Structure 1
């Protein structure tokens, strides 16, 4: 891939280990990387930081503050929303990783772009009411390739092991399935996000969440571009995994070619 390809990386709003994540970004051959961190990233994007990006890597979870045992949310600025919509309208692409599926709870169009939503509190997603979503850290599972002929999965083994966080959250719309997790996405295997926000980590007491999709990577069209969502990517072990690095590199190359 030519070095002329420009990648805008957005992070912040959710904790992560900066040095291992920087090593992941450094492994992306052929990309000129600009990394912006919220809250400054929102203003920078609104002022034009995404205007010449071939692809955006969303590793952010903006629009939240956690206060008094609850999640307080706000929408993005009009300028930010306009800039992201313009990026896709002109054929720009994006990869959204891991907790990006939870970002901007008060911007429904963001969930529609991704094709899923992680909820920190009971609420609406895709026109339906949902309980708060589920999480489970340090799950050992196999990722299973669903479309071996797709550019995003090129070069990956048919299945490969990961140790990472999984989400129990709704997925919808015209998504192209790429990977699934060999794991049961049912209430007993996850903990309540709302309970965690309230200070009761690793609890699913009184939380009767329905089963959800086992998809952990998919593609969908957005405007004149496309977006690939990749659920793996919680921490250093995932950042360093060679199969996950290949998946991310493939996905970025694919969406930049839109």
Structure 2
């Protein structure tokens, strides 16, 4: 692959629109984007293989970056992201890189064109050197202390295999038929931009420093499950929301770390309904209404 500066913008991308793309049919066509964070592949992909209402194509970074433009996006009903690009872990801690300019331009153009996005779990930690991504998602997980929304913030907290209760907080096509349910999953004490999102789900976990571990202690200091020397103010208990990104409907679901979550029937139903809603005419109409208020 050529250097980023040598790659043309999305209008000049050499990737043909017909490459390995599914035919339009009765099922929703999903582009499933992965890589950048480890996951149980068999258990994860079974969530999508077992959904009778979708067909999906999986693409990984860095090749995925060529798919982010309206010309490619018109072949799909929705992009589902379970990726974490822009973070490279090394012996001295993570290194951060900005996305190439053609990717930024393509993603912005997708927003203008109204292309739906469903963002999952660790994708909130993607592109830490590009603050615009956090604004697109509506929140941000920080592996090390850095600025978020122009303010110096501590590294985020994590806690794996937490047993907590997830509850819907509004009537919406994504929450429909979902009662409060117990989930064993990873939770985050991270940045949530509550002023720019509409809540769908909350957790009954206690989102305070003593119930989480420092991300920096783990990835810089090599100390897993440690909050020694780490301080963090109390955080939001929102674990799912919707928002408008330009003209695009966007869903973020914080839950979904491993097989215990993947195999949970309520999790599967929520994700399926998130994809259905984001891909719908109703979602596009909702974005227009939001943008006109």
Q: Which residue matches 2:202?
A: 180
Q: Which residue matches 1:162?
A: 183
- Per chain length, whose mean CA-contact separation is higher, i.e. which structure has more relative contact order (CA < 8 Å, sep 6+)? 1
How far apart, in 2, do the equivalents of 1:28 and 1:126 lie? 37
Q: Which residue matches 2:81?
A: 58
1:134-153 to 2 correspondences below 5 Å: 134-147=157-170, 149-153=171-175
- Give 5+ residue unaligned stretches, structure 2: 1-24, 285-293
Aligned match for 1:117, one of 136, 140, 143? 140
1:62-77 to 2 correspondences below 5 Å: 62-77=85-100
Shift of 1:145: 1.1
Q: Is the 8 A contact 2:70 2:109 kept in 1?
A: no
How far apart, in 2, do the equivalents of 1:126 and 1:78 lie? 21
Q: CA RMSD in A?
A: 1.5
Q: Is the 8 A contact 1:170 1:212 kept in 2?
A: yes
How far apart, in 2, do the equivalents of 1:48 and 1:103 lie? 23
Q: Is the 8 A contact 2:200 2:242 kept in 1?
A: yes
Secondary structure of 2:174's aligned partner: helix
Q: Is the 8 A contact 1:3 1:32 kept in 2?
A: no
Shift of 1:48: 5.4
Q: Is the 8 A contact 2:69 2:109 kept in 1?
A: no
Q: Which residue matches 1:207?
A: 230
Shift of 1:174: 2.0
Aligned match for 2:112, one of 85, 89, 101? 89
Shift of 1:32: 2.4
Q: Which residue matches 1:28?
A: 51
Q: Is the 8 A contact 1:51 1:83 kept in 2?
A: no
Give the TM-score normalised by structure 2. Answer: 0.83
How far apart, in 2, do the equivalents of 1:53 and 1:69 lie? 40
Shift of 1:91: 1.3
Answer with 1 or 2: which has the greater Rg: 2
Q: Is the 8 A contact 2:48 2:54 kept in 1?
A: no
Q: Is the 8 A contact 2:70 2:113 kept in 1?
A: no
Q: Is the 8 A contact 2:116 2:278 kept in 1?
A: yes
How far apart, in 2, do the equivalents of 1:43 and 1:201 lie? 35
Q: Which residue matches 2:11?
A: none
Work out the number of aligned pairs and report it. Answer: 255
Give the TM-score normalised by structure 1. Answer: 0.94
